[in-house]
Amino acid sequence: MKDLGNYRKSYEKSELLETQIPEDPINLFHRWFYEAEDLDAADEVNAMTVSTIGLDGFPKSRVVLLKKFNEEGFIFYTNYNSEKGKAISNNPNVCLSFFWPGVERQVIIKGIAEKTQENISDNYFASRPDGSKLGAIVSPQSEVIPNREFLENNLKKLEKEWEGKEIHRPAHWGGFLVRPIEMEFWQGRPNRLHDRIRFKLQDNYEWKIDRLSP
């Protein structure tokens, strides 16, 4: 067994103080997201971990790409018949997390997921390259398949079938909007005394701000 006890890093790049934060966590997320992008803090700044409670009762996490965020929440796209799609349909309580190592920051978001309006899914699907469109159609996401050739052969068939035609979004594919109810911002600090600021949505739709001990 490899001992990782000596893997240590001192976090010293920034700080997160109450005097520096807005009243709305989306504004702080906006600032952090574009700072991470400008500073090339990760290979894909919009990569996030989505955690769900599966139909088997176990939590499961996977990395997907954030495609839009605004005051309503955070949008990503998937196959609604996939494992994550079925899990969200059964239990819409999800957690999103971002880690930007180049700026020593994390954001953890608890929220309620719901399907986006069909026109939003249609518009995003239309913006994708044809290969990605066909990939969404050909892949029975999360299902057992016999081999790699199964996908590649079906893709070739679809390429011929849709050649020169407009590729429409399949009904089983679309977006989820995650409406946040809690957002935690983590800034690495020296001596493991990290800054943790939590925004928690109240019944009056205002955000309660607390500092958490690291």
d(CA 127, CA 81): 22
Helix, strand or coil, per DSSP, at residue 120: helix
| The token pair that represents 3 in the structure block | 């001992």
User: In this structure, are residues 77 and 174 in contact, taking their beta carbons and an 8 Å threshold?
Assistant: yes
- Our answer to whether residue 192 is catalytic in this structure is yes
CA distances from 106 to 25, 68, 151, 212 (A): 13, 18, 36, 14
User: Which is catalytic among the residues 192, 196, 198, 211?
Assistant: 192
d(CA 112, CA 205): 15
* Residues sharing a CB contact under 8 Å with residue 18, sequence separation 6 or more, in sequence order: 197, 209, 211
Helix, strand or coil, per DSSP, at residue 137: helix
User: In this structure, are residues 198 and 210 in contact, taking their beta carbons and an 8 Å threshold?
Assistant: yes
Residue 95 belongs to what H/E stretch?
Answer: strand 93-100
Output DSSP code: residue 102. Answer: G
Catalytic residue set = 192
